[in-house]
Structure 1
Amino acid sequence: MHPNPAFRPRQDDLAALLVREIGFAAIFAGTPDGPRVAHAPVVLSDDAATLQFHLARGNGLTRHLAGATALAVVQGPDAYVSADWYVEEAHAVPTWNYVAVEMEGPARRLGEAELVAQLDALSAQHEARIGANPPWTRDKMDRNYFAKLTGAIVGFEMRIAAWRPTIKLSQNKPADERARIATAIEATGHGALAHLMRELGGDRKSA
């Protein structure tokens, strides 16, 4: 992650907010077969102390993850920044603006009831987002079919020992230049990143 402190979020709860809003992560860990990554929807606890997710039993991480230290990465919008968008082109290079949150900690395997609770929390959260009325719940499923599907996955919980968020939105540039870059990024089809630049870019400059 980018070491420049200018790109660390100033709001204490911003990293957790982004994890909840994006809701999908890449889960990394070392295994005897080498490093592996899995991609999964995630549930962050109310106190932002744990992150839950589930993987297919056949996933290359599943049988090695319990007791291991895992790294979860949630990525937001990103986009290329052309050096031509700066006033002083002769002293500028192309770069990349992006939003990413790393969380690291030990993982444990969930019991069956905990896995079902995780699945219920996931569906409730996202059904509410899409405005489903009434929302989908597992009560609509055949119980035997639900049991068959849950038997094919394994739930995990990672206790978050370290957060490493990076919100790189041209905070190290003057306000007028940052506004111009946001407009250029929006014109290339990256409206979400441009919006974040305007909302979260701030006026802080780095040395």
Structure 2
Amino acid sequence: MHPNSAFRPRQDDLAELLVREIGFAAIFASTPDGPRVAHAPVVLSDDRTTLQFHLARGNALTRHLRGANALAVVQGPDAYVSASWYADADQVPTWNYVAIEMEGVVRKLEAAELVAQLDTLSDQHEARVGANPPWTRDKMNPALFSKMTGAIVGFEMRIAAWRPTIKLSQNKSAEERARVIEGVEATGHGALAQLMRHLGGDKAGA
């Protein structure tokens, strides 16, 4: 989390919204072999208290996650901010970014819970794709589906702490933010520019 409180969203639902929209996280944990990270699609529970994910059974982190205190990080768009974009000459370059950290203890899911997670994931993302009809596991040979799910392991993190950082130049004036948005967009970072337009002012800052 960035130490400047201006970059912490004050709406309780903003970090949740970003986790649901992005839907992909890096999962970090300490292991006897040192710190490890895995990358996985995630499912946030309706009450935002748990985060589910699954990893390949052969992933080096899989055998160490059960009962571990882990960190999940969902990252949004980011971009370099040139100091030359500011009207004030006494500025330095920086980086604007979105990062949502969630920490908690992890448990391994039972087989039925893993299948439910996979169903939820496909339902959510097939709806976004707009496929008609959407893909479901009913289209697969059940034996093959069972074999493939046997190659992955499901987990659930009980979220004990949320640490979001929404760094979108909220500590700058509206005029300076407008210049940064223009510069970010001109350098090909349209998604970040859009976030800055919608979230970079009073809405995202404390």
Name the TM tier (shorter chain): over 0.9
4+ residue segments displaced more than 2 Å: none
| 1:39-50 pair list within 5 angstroms | 39-50=39-50
| 1:1-207 pair list within 5 angstroms | 1-89=1-89, 91-203=90-202
| Aligned partner of residue 42 in structure 1, secondary structure | strand
Aligned AA (1:30):
S
TM-score by length of 2: 0.97
Distance 2:32 2:124 in 1: 35
Unaligned 5+ runs, structure 1: none
* 1:157-199: CA deviation from partner (whole Å, max 9, x where unpaired): 0000000000000000000110111011001000010001010
Cα offset for 1:140? 0.3
Cα offset for 1:203? 4.2
Distance 1:116 1:35 in 2: 29
TM-score by length of 1: 0.97
Cα offset for 1:12? 1.0
Q: Aligned residues, how many?
A: 204
Aligned AA (1:42):
V
Cα offset for 1:83? 0.6
Query: Using CA pairs below 8 Å that are at least 6 residues apart, which structure has the higher relative contact order?
Result: 2
Distance 2:113 2:22 in 1: 22
Q: Is the 8 A contact 1:68 1:107 kept in 2?
A: yes
Paired-residue identity, %: 80
Distance 1:12 1:110 in 2: 28
Distance 1:125 1:86 in 2: 41
Distance 1:58 1:203 in 2: 45
